DNA sequence: TGCCTGATTGCCT
DNA sequence: GGCAATCAGGCAA
């Protein structure tokens, strides 16, 4: 395990009950929280500034739409674990599984503000700029070394955890990015004014 | 079995 | 703004 940087609070992770709520509530609640991964090559952490909610079997944009099969199986487990999938042949993305077992709700982590382990993240990313470390779902997964082995990991564990943190002063709501169905569902949440979000809302909805 | 597309990123013009 | 990289899953044949 990596050494503990002094600026990561040694708090206990958010309780299970935080995740056993409606997915949209968990999504909004995750903004400002701190994701920590204590990996073999060191510890890194970032403050969550952008998320998207995916609503399970009734959401055509969700991998869970076709039921608990294949890569979506983990999304149907009890909330409070990570669901990691591989896409575009080269990127990993991380979901936070929500609600009770069988619900299939999940929150895609889309951007973090780097907090700890900055040099480690730079090495993993091959990029220097702070903004390039976590401003996108594939980027943050790479910066935090989240990949296949982390699929299904408990977020209340020692390797991977989510700590409390100051919520944003204001939250913007917009349409989800990179999908082709249910594109008008307002399920993307970003910290207003953050320089670390992946991109601006497409024209619409600063609400 | 084979083809196509994707909850993306980075490099190119 | 366009497009390639690269592979797992979905669906047609």
pLDDT in tens, chain A (207 residues): 555 555 555 688 999 999 999 999 999 999 999 999 999 999 999 999 999 999 999 999 999 999 999 999 999 999 999 999 999 999 999 999 999 999 999 999 999 999 999 999 999 999 999 999 999 999 999 999 999 999 999 999 999 999 999 999 999 999 999 999 999 999 999 999 999 999 765 444 443
First to last CA, chain A: 42
CA of A11 to C1' of C2 (A): 46
| Under 8 Å between Cβ of A4 and A10 | yes
Nucleotides in B strand less than 7 A from protein CB: 5-10
CA distances from A25 to A28, A35, A52, A149 (A): 5, 17, 11, 27
pTM: 0.93
């Amino acid at each position: 395990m990596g050494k503990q940087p002094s600026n990561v609070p040694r708090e206990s992770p958010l309780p299970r009950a935080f995740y056993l709520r409606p997915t949209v509530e968990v999504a909004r609640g995750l903004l400002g929280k701190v994701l920590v991964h204590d990996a073999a090559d060191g510890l890194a952490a970032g403050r969550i500034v952008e998320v998207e909610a995916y609503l399970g079997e009734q959401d055509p944009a969700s991998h869970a739409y076709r039921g608990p099969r294949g890569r979506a199986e983990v999304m149907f487990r009890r909330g409070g674990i990570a669901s990691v999938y591989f896409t575009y042949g080269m990127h990993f993305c991380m979901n936070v599984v929500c609600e009770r077992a069988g619900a299939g709700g999940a929150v895609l982590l889309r951007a973090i503000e780097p907090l700890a382990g900055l040099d480690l993240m730079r090495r993993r990313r091959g990029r220097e700029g702070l903004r390039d470390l976590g401003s996108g779902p594939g980027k943050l997964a790479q910066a935090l070394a989240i990949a296949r082995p982390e699929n299904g990991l408990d977020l209340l564990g020692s390797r991977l955890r989510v700590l409390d943190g100051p919520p944003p002063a204001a939250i913007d709501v917009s349409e989800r990015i990179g999908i082709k169905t249910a594109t008008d569902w307002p399920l993307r949440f970003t910290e207003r004014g953050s320089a670390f979000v992946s991109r601006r809302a497409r024209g619409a909805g600063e609400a």
